[in-house]
Structure 1
Amino acid sequence: MGLRDEIFEQPAAIRRLIETQWPTIRDLGRELRSMDIDYVYLTARGTSDHAGFYAKYLWGAYNRWPIALAAPSLFSVYRRPPQLTRALVIGISQSGQSPDIISVMEEGRRQGLPTLAITNAPDSPLARVSDWVIDICAGPERAVAATKSYTAQLMTIAMLSVALEGDEERLTELRRVPDAIAAVLEQDSEIRLLAERYRYMSQCVVLGRGYNYATAYEWALKLKELTYVVAVPYSSADFQHGPVAMVFEGFPVFVVMPKGAVFDQLYGLATRLKREQRVELLVLSNAEQALDLANRAIELPADLAEWVSPIVAIVPGQLVCYHLTRAKGFDTEAPRMLSKVTKTE
């Protein structure tokens, strides 16, 4: 089993997660609502850190929770952890083995705070130092580049948001996600041809905003670790505060822009980049005007709600990375200098 298999497993993995873990997450949401929690202190690395970006926007928007993203080195290297008061400490990790993430959770417990692990390894060291554990149920993930564990982390975060709000009507939208991912996967042949057009690409920027800030960062990471392209992610707002100056005619700009609150801002920026600099524009969207604007486009499901769109939008990005890696002649199963489990102190 390899990377492509795990990309295509995602509809089944997400469906399994919803079916098996919703009762646990629903009960956890009720318990957390009854507690005196002022904010979430969230710790993660790599792909899991990008899941944390999604939590920052989703829990902030729907649950009105402030989210602080931890600096693990304060705990594991400098040994000068901040004082955390009335925080819920959450660790997100596929393997649950990275010592720096575990050190944050251990300090949370030392300070008497509630701790929650979101992991694919419910018997891991991370799980053992946590009061609650949510198993993301992604199943064994052997490919070095994380795919199904990432979308399962996003779905877990979305399910917890629904449970915290106590509004199970939103759960209906989550139950549609596996079919939405399956619909995107049906475009695999077209995405392969699209990706081959970028086989000589050495650099690009990846833009998103709001919920899909996470998607921009995760897509850029997959481009870097699989294709060795210097892919730099930005919030579309931050991009305009300096980095926009580096683009030129033909420069590849990848934009994640489904319909939603931030669409108009993203569309305006993409239009300006296309008109003034004639960039090479690749768009992920379900808005007709965005698809028409792009040099290359991948269509997202039309009825996709913005708040769940990151769970679906990253999947065509994964396929682009898989096919581009092969087009460049690199090994999708053995990216250089990487291993499946990364342990940082």
Structure 2
Amino acid sequence: MPAMDYLSYHMYREILEEPQAVARMVEMEGDKIRGLARILRERDIDCIVIAARGTSDNAAQLAKYLFEYINGVPVSLAAPSIYTLYGARVKLDKALVLGVSQSGEGLDVVEVVKHAREAGAVTIGITNNEGSALARTAEHTIFCRAGEEKSVAATKTYVTQLMAFYMLSFEWAGRSDLLGELSRAPEYLDRVLTMEEGIREIVPRYRYMKECVVTGRGFNYSTALEAALKVKETCYVGSQPYSVADFLHGPIAIVEEGFPVFVIAPPGKAFPNFMELCTKLRTRKAETIVLSSAPEILDISTVPLRIPFELEEVLTPLVYITPMQLFSFHLALVKGFNPDRPRGLKKVTVTR
């Protein structure tokens, strides 16, 4: 398929829009987020609760690591049914409660935020829809500013949700060093998009792939979750996400010769675990597809996907997801599927 034909797909165009979406969010939401950080510093926040579903819940996994590591505040991922089905009243008067929804119309997420606000929590809605129920319900809002996302499979809204979490965490902690590096996010996203040709060349190798594992650890556990979801949604592959630590504790037993394992492996504190995993997978003759900027792990992979720059480990989820979005898009086409219209799915899923 000629490259020009890719632009007829919403998903492809929206992946390419990620650098601009992130830049727009910084410009339009930066002052508001700095104001929210001042409010949080004035409040005695002793816990954070995040309500989300689907892709937004994967973004929330990164937020858990960020707020605990950068801000030192424990984070719980909400179980919305506690509120929506069981009618529980939870003590949240010293909590920050974040509702995260691309559409802002997830009834269960909105209800968690509603109960939290009534209980005296600081509530923030993160959404791409300014007129949404979430925006009306939360005390404060952060808008993703991604522009309309037409593809069912979320891409640019996921990246802008991550950006919202980064900006809020770093501003709250007063981390000017990390904020400076974060300001280069559009540049890093532009550079990672240059990996597309190499990704497109390897995709036919996986045309008949029926199952795979996607692994990450630490900050990039969220990347493994979201990458596996994209492969499921667009390619109908049974992709299972794991923390490397969990995978080594038992599930690695499923791996036999030729079994595909994706490894999201940026340099950092988790890197020795990635090296251990890849070494063990090599002895099993697994098919390892490794995303990293580190030559030592790329050299022992079956298919290396080199990230063309190094980045602080904490920031890597923002850019390591984009190659997997591109992989999912191109694999769907090779398999004969329309990545914009996954079967049985729609853009807004309403659950309660």
Call closer, same or farther: CA 1:344–1:265 in 2, change over 3 Å.
same
How far is the alpha carbon of 1:303 from its aligned partner? 2.4
Partner of residue 142 from structure 1, selected from 144, 150, 153: 150
Look up the equivalent residue of 2:343 and give its one-letter code.
Answer: R
CA distance in 1, matches of 2:341, 2:246: 33
CA distance in 2, matches of 1:126, 1:307: 28
Please say if 1:9 is aligned against 2:14.
Answer: no
1:315 match: 322
Q: What is the correspondence of 1:124-163 to structure 2 with a 5 Å cutoff?
A: 124-163=132-171
1:299 match: 306
Look up the equivalent residue of 1:167 and give its one-letter code.
Answer: R
Moved more, 266-275 or 63-72: 266-275
How far is the alpha carbon of 1:163 from its aligned partner? 0.6
1:61 match: 69
CA distance in 2, matches of 1:86, 1:79: 20
CA distance in 2, matches of 1:168, 1:23: 15
Moved over 4 A (4+): none
Call closer, same or farther: CA 1:127–1:274 in 2, change over 3 Å.
same
Q: What is the correspondence of 1:204-223 to structure 2 with a 5 Å cutoff?
A: 204-223=212-231
Give the secondary-structure state (helix, strand or coil) at the position aligned to 1:221.
Answer: helix
CA distance in 2, matches of 1:260, 1:335: 35
Alpha carbons 2:92, 2:120 under 8 Å: kept? no
1:39 match: 47
CA distance in 1, matches of 2:326, 2:172: 33
CA distance in 1, matches of 2:209, 2:106: 33
Partner of residue 196 from structure 1, selected from 204, 223, 238: 204
Please say if 1:187 is aligned against 2:195.
Answer: yes
CA distance in 1, matches of 2:172, 2:279: 38
Please say if 1:112 is aligned against 2:120.
Answer: yes
CA distance in 2, matches of 1:296, 1:154: 27
Please say if 1:267 is aligned against 2:252.
Answer: no
Alpha carbons 1:180, 1:301 under 8 Å: kept? no
TM-score, with structure 1 as normaliser: 0.98
Structure 1 residue runs of 5 or longer lacking an equivalent are: none
1:78 match: 86
Structure 2 residue runs of 5 or longer lacking an equivalent are: 1-8
Look up the equivalent residue of 2:314 and give its one-letter code.
Answer: W
Look up the equivalent residue of 1:295 and give its one-letter code.
Answer: T
Give the secondary-structure state (helix, strand or coil) at the position aligned to 1:293.
Answer: coil
CA distance in 2, matches of 1:173, 1:167: 10
CA distance in 1, matches of 2:127, 2:340: 22
How far is the alpha carbon of 1:83 from its aligned partner? 3.0
1:281 match: 288
Look up the equivalent residue of 1:305 and give its one-letter code.
Answer: E
Give the secondary-structure state (helix, strand or coil) at the position aligned to 1:187.
Answer: helix
CA distance in 2, matches of 1:238, 1:85: 34
CA distance in 2, matches of 1:22, 1:302: 26
How far is the alpha carbon of 1:81 from its aligned partner? 4.2
Give the secondary-structure state (helix, strand or coil) at the position aligned to 1:197.
Answer: helix
Please say if 1:173 is aligned against 2:184.
Answer: no
Moved more, 75-84 or 192-201: 75-84
Alpha carbons 1:62, 1:165 under 8 Å: kept? yes
Alpha carbons 2:125, 2:140 under 8 Å: kept? yes
Partner of residue 331 from structure 1, selected from 329, 338, 347: 338
Give the secondary-structure state (helix, strand or coil) at the position aligned to 1:186.
Answer: helix
TM-score, with structure 2 as normaliser: 0.96
Q: String of CA shifts for 1:18-38, please: whole Å, max 9, x gaps.
A: 122111111111111110110
Call closer, same or farther: CA 1:209–1:74 in 2, change over 3 Å.
same
CA distance in 2, matches of 1:188, 1:274: 26
CA distance in 2, matches of 1:81, 1:231: 36
Q: Paired residues, what number? A: 344
How far is the alpha carbon of 1:168 from its aligned partner? 2.0
How far is the alpha carbon of 1:85 from its aligned partner? 4.3
> Over the residues paired in the alignment, what is the CA RMSD in angstroms?
1.1
CA distance in 2, matches of 1:114, 1:20: 22
Alpha carbons 1:122, 1:134 under 8 Å: kept? no
Look up the equivalent residue of 1:96 and give its one-letter code.
Answer: G
Alpha carbons 2:93, 2:120 under 8 Å: kept? no
